[in-house]
């Protein structure tokens, strides 16, 4: 993750299949990846994404997302369902509407 901190790209593709590791927590990895784009961010979520990843993605503001299909919107709603669930790594933190 240190390699990409501070870098910006016009287009970033984030997949829940991306290798996330090291000492950092999943939320920090996702935040770092999602904030590298200065123009276009594409999220690729698989149906069997880890609940922790879904919970972090589920906190994104829906009004700032463009869904490619009804299935994509449904996938995002499934992510919303993971927020505050037992596998949510951010469950104990106060919610913020600034995402």
The CA distance from 4 to 55, in Å, is 23
Range of the domain at 74: 9-82
6/76 Cα distance (integer angstroms): 28
Inform me whether the pLDDT recorded for 86 exceeds 60: yes
In a domain, 70, yes or no: yes
Asked whether residue 90 is domain-assigned, the answer is no
Element of type H or E holding 37 = strand 37-44
User: Is the pTM value of this prediction over 0.85?
Assistant: no
pLDDT tens by residue, 9-67: 899 998 888 776 655 678 888 888 888 888 999 999 888 888 888 888 999 999 999 99
Output the pLDDT for position 96. Answer: 56
| Helix runs in the chain, H state only | 26-34, 51-57, 70-82
**23 part of a folded domain:** yes
Q: What per-residue confidence (pLDDT) applies to 93? A: 62
Is 96 a domain residue?
A: no
Report yes or no: 1 and 32 within 8 Å, Cβ to Cβ: yes
């Amino acid at each position: 993750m240190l390699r990409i901190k501070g870098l910006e790209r016009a287009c970033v593709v984030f997949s829940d299949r991306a290798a996330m590791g090291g000492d950092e927590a999943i939320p920090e990895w996702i935040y770092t990846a999602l904030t590298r784009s200065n123009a276009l961010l594409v999220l690729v979520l698989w149906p069997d994404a880890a609940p922790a990843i879904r919970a972090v993605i589920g906190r994104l503001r829906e009004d700032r997302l463009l869904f490619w299909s009804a299935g994509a919107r449904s996938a995002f709603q499934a992510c919303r369902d993971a927020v505050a669930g037992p596998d949510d790594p951010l469950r104990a933190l106060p919610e913020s509407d600034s995402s």
